[in-house]
Amino acid sequence: MGSGPLNGVRVVELAGIGPGPFCAMLLADLGAEVLRVDRVEAVDLGIERDRQFNLLNRGRRSVAIDLKDPAGVEAVLRLIDQADAVIEGFRPGVTEKLGLGPDVCLARNPKLVYGRMTGWGQNGPLAHAAGHDINYIALTGALGAIGSAGGPPVPPLNLVGDFGGGGVYLAFGLCAALIEARGSGAGQVVDVAMTDGSASLMTAIYGLFASGFWTDQRGQNVLDSGSHYYGCYECADGAYISVGSIEAKFYAELLEKLELTDDDLPGRNDRDQWPDHREKLTKLFLTRTRDEWCELMEGTDICFAPVLSLAEAPNHPHNKERGTFVTYDGVVQPAPAPRFSRTPGEIQRPPANRGEHTDEALGDWGFSADERARLRGAGVIGG
């Protein structure tokens, strides 16, 4: 059992990629016992790497079970009988064909919360089409809103679809349904689509757009590099800084530190002036190095921070004092989040090799030694 507010919650994860494993990692970091069901055979996903670097798989044990074998399906159903929740990330209808669909699982375990993670959702004209993060956020307007004026949309890594609109919403949905099930005694299906999640993340922007404050053109708005007081600037050493002086009092402090006045940059919210103001600030920030700007501005109310690389971020004093990054199993990685005052989460264990804990975990979940030997002899389990 791990520490954390989800201690005592049991989850069966049908192995997938991206948002499903990320959700499982979040739950495990907060103390849930998550058992990952991997395939018996290896699958080439084009992103293979040594076990310890597969950070989305941290915190949980792995069992290898053949889901194409009826005995393997029955073994997984026995695990699900004991679980509070299930995570699956296949295309719609796949688990039904395997015999592991929600109707079957809920009939056996009425309090089960069955979490489904897809890109397009369980229904709709695109439901059965292949896709990736970039496609899902393209459909919801999120991708089209990100980028500079005159340039193409810029994919924000795969943070908005896979992890934000997908994995986090799945974790949120599962936790909400688990709370409800404890009161009602009835489980349910949680249908999480990255299109729905990324659209939800855009709620505030859609409100601004409806009000007329936000234009549908990239790079013309306060938060999308249109304004001169919210964006990134290159420094004399080629490094970058970020400035977010949206509010008037923060903007006033920015001008003071830069030894400028309103006359130097007239019309703070005059969009016609923004390109000229950005050009002036671009030239000004090029006169000093990033460290020099940090010495002048970091810790003030300008709303300022250096733009750090992946290598630099774990060593920043603020991140070090907060413990935002940890070294675990020899790998520097983000620590569990969020923080809890009484039941803190923690990384429960390093990422597992496929099927590494098959015998151990199945034994803990009620499979006798004879059953495990029989299943292994028939090729139903591996690892």
Chain centroid to Cα 105, Å, comes to 27
Cα→Cα distances 37→12, 134, 190, 356, Å = 7, 27, 19, 11
- Residue 255 tokens, joined: 């001008």
Find out whether 144 and 224 touch, Cβ atoms under 8 Å: no
Contacts of 162 (CB under 8 A, 6+ apart): 18, 19, 22, 133, 194
CA 88-113-17 angle, to 5 degrees, is 20
Q: Does residue 132 have an active-site annotation? A: yes
Contacts of 259 (CB under 8 A, 6+ apart): none
Q: Does residue 329 have an active-site annotation? A: no
Q: Which of 132, 276, 291, 329 is catalytic?
A: 132
Count of residues in the chain: 383
Cα separation, 86 vs 79, whole angstroms: 10
| CA-wise closest residue to 12 among 85, 106, 78 | 85
Whether the upstream peptide bond of residue 338 has omega within 30° of 0, thus cis, is: yes
Q: Which of 29, 84, 133, 162 is catalytic?
A: 162
Cα→Cα distances 155→123, 131, 217, 218, 278, Å = 26, 14, 16, 13, 23
Residues annotated as catalytic are 132, 162
